[in-house]
Amino acid sequence: MKMKLITPLLFALMSVNASAIAGDQSFSFGFSGGYLVPIHSGSFTYINKDTPYSGKFRFSFDKGAGVWTALTGTFKLDKESKFSIGTSLGYSSFTSEDDKERDSYVATLTYGEKVTTVMFFYNKFSEFALNATLNLRYKPFESNGLGILAGASGSYLISNSYLFIYDTVYDASVPKVVKPYFNLNEPPIVGNFVPYYRDITHIAIIYYDGRLPDINLLQISLRTGLFYDFRVLGIILSPSIVYQYPLTKISSSQDWKIHRLICSIDARYQL
């Protein structure tokens, strides 16, 4: 329902602005591409009802990167070219990971050797989305093309994937005869867990690998940033850095949100 209401409104605003400034005012269009950094706030609780263990783990992500690309249009609103409306329609994708150490302990073997076992919870989240943006652009200085922008963004998540692995690293001095916690000669107790060896002293169990079911497909954000317009051989180039503040949670049942920092450059042709 939200998608049906908000997306037409966003494109209606784009059309209204295009019509209102037609005639004496100028229009430029082109392509934008750049780098996207996802910044996660809050966290989410992963619960797997099939797990023989507690099955409840709370996570966030500490690193990630992605790409941003779009078709763009800019409409001048005044003769001095101080105010303009910027629009874009495109896609973005990114991957975020978290592989922090969760626990470790020292064990004493039969002949007194001491070895350290380290356990990790490895998480990876990937997203692919269609994006539409609408910005008010303002250039306060007549001497250069530096300006500020503010507006809104709507994103529709086409796909997502989540990978959750319980990872155990044994000290390299552990003999092969020392059994790991998970007996890899037997099938998993319940569920579709996939245990596998990574090497002699390294095993892992996949808890989850697939789409997250509880996802808000429509994401709404506010955005603000800086840009700089200049011309090269008749083409308007406009590098920018934009921060997007999410109004929508990724999951309706969690407090997990994804902020975005987008560094990009527009190349536009002016009619």
Provide, rounded to the nearest whole percent, the portion of the chain with pLDDT above 70. 63
Do residues 120 and 102 lie in contact, with contact meaning Cβ atoms separated by under 8 Å? Answer: yes
Under the banding of pLDDT at 50, 70 and 90, the label for residue 54 is very low
Q: What are phi and psi of 140, to 5 degrees?
A: -75, -20
Q: What is the mean pLDDT of residues 97-122?
A: 69
> Ramachandran region of residue 5, left (φ > 0), alpha (ψ -120 to 50) or beta?
alpha
* Termini Cα distance of the chain: 37
Strand stretches in 139-256, DSSP E: 146-169, 194-199, 202-210, 218-228, 230-232, 235-246
Digit-coded pLDDT (tens) for 193-237: 445 444 455 566 666 777 877 789 999 999 999 999 999 998 999
Q: What is the mean pLDDT of residues 174-192?
A: 41
Task: Say whether pLDDT at 22 is over 60.
Answer: no
Residue 25, both tokens = 């005012």
Average pLDDT taken over every residue of the chain: 77
Nearest Cα to Cα of residue 65 among 119, 126, 154: 126
CA 99 to chain centre: 17
Nearest Cα to Cα of residue 118 among 53, 170, 58: 170
Q: For position 38, what pLDDT does the model report?
A: 94
d(Cα 256, Cα 43) in Å, to the nearest integer?
5
